[in-house]
Amino acid sequence: MESEISIRKSVSDLSINIDAVCRLIAKTQLPSGEIPWCEGQKTDPWDHIESAMGLSTGGYLCEARQAFEWSARMQLEDGCWYSAYMRGAPEDTTRDANLSSYIAVGVLHYYLITADVDFMDRMWPTVSAAIDFALHLQTLEGEIHWAISPEGRVDPMALLTGSSSIYMSLKCALAIAQILGRPAPKWRNALIKLGDAIRYKPHLFNIAKSRYSMYWFYPILVGALTGADAQKRIDRYWGKYMIEERGVRCVSDEPWVTLAETSELVIALAAMGNRELAKIIFSWIADRRYDDGSYWCGFTFPEMIIWPEDKLTWTNAAALMAADAIYDLTPAGQLFSHEFWKGFDFK
């Protein structure tokens, strides 16, 4: 581990073993910098970056940089990454807009913790190309087609969760551009169109995916919905996805709570300014840990059977980022805060 950052002073206030979480991610990380889901499983570009963000949050900055550098080396000529790798070898050659653009979130997150402008500048070509790839799949109405198939065909389906995540990636890319003094007017226009699609054009998105709880809170998590609109959406779907004193269902019609989705809801609530409720929900999952301090992936209810038993890097990263969002462990804890983004003018 490279440095002991300021989160150490707050560990005693949390039911989270920060070093245990980061050790799991670092132990799973391959020498190349690639971070698989867990030992022996695949790597996808989005969860790889999420895991790197967990490392950054815990002060494992060298390991986080290695993860970003792996992404830079593996980027394809068109700016994207394949959807899945096994030890650097492509396993699924689908090119997904959301999976590819998320690197912008990770790079800004790293900058907020380290203030390392030089590293952000070195990552700029990678971030810029990734955002341009995603925006090549944006339609005139604003939504973003989710992927290009292995055969090279654009899949015309748009996903609310994926487009919402790209909205966050776009915001972060624009913030990076602003900090580095690089104009990006096309990105600004794309952000406005995408935000309008998310807020006002639900018919553009595949409604079948509404079974998944991310459909519920992702427009709030990324700041596409704020204020009264965000609260209205939280209230509308609370009973569909939430299991009181347990957490968030992954899928609305399955008896399965997942810690990643619960952690992301915590971040969304904190982003809205409702930290007290966020703390309560985080407390429901705080002790769902193995003996080594790392978090479960999920559990069934009411049986409370751990399933699956894999120790997932990105789930642990999400839990650590949730703690950061509600306790301000690092300067990056505000990354998803709706108030934080008022400091940037993208209109």
- Residue 58's pLDDT is 98
CATH level 3 topology of 6-343 = Glycosyltransferase (1.50.10)
Q: List pLDDT tens digits, range 158-190.
A: 999 999 999 999 999 999 999 999 999 999 999
Q: Residue 40: is its pLDDT beyond 50?
A: yes
- Helices of type H across the chain: 18-28, 45-57, 61-74, 97-101, 103-114, 117-135, 160-180, 185-200, 214-221, 227-241, 259-272, 275-285, 313-327
Q: What percent of the chain has pLDDT over 90?
A: 94
What CA–CA distance (Å, rounded) separates 341 from 347?
12
What number is the average pLDDT over the span 97-122?
A: 98
Cis peptide leading into 308, omega within 30 of 0? yes
Cis peptide leading into 183, omega within 30 of 0? no
What CA–CA distance (Å, rounded) separates 154 from 137?
8
CB atoms within 10 A of CB 30: 15
Q: 341 is written with which tokens?
A: 């983004």
Cis peptide leading into 302, omega within 30 of 0? yes
119-120-123-125 Cα dihedral, nearest 10 degrees: -130
Q: 72 is written with which tokens?
A: 């830079």
Nearest to 228 by CA among 267, 195, 272: 272
Specify the amino acid at residue 68: F
- Residue 14's pLDDT is 61
Domain boundaries, the chain: 6-343
Q: List pLDDT tens digits, range 41-52.
A: 999 999 999 999
Q: Residue 267: is its pLDDT beyond 90?
A: yes
* Separation of first and last alpha carbons in the chain: 40
> DSSP readout, 135-154?
HTTB-TTS-BEEEE-TTSPE
Nearest to 223 by CA among 66, 79, 71, 337: 337
- Residue 8's pLDDT is 40
The mean of the pLDDT values for the chain is 95
Nearest to 109 by CA among 56, 181, 31: 56
CB atoms within 10 A of CB 91: 13
Asked if residues 107 and 172 have their Cβ atoms less than 8 Å apart, the reply is yes
- Give the angle 184-141-105 at the CA atoms, nearest 5°: 45
Q: 240 is written with which tokens?
A: 């569909």
Q: List pLDDT tens digits, range 186-234.
A: 999 999 999 999 999 999 999 888 999 999 999 999 999 999 999 999 9
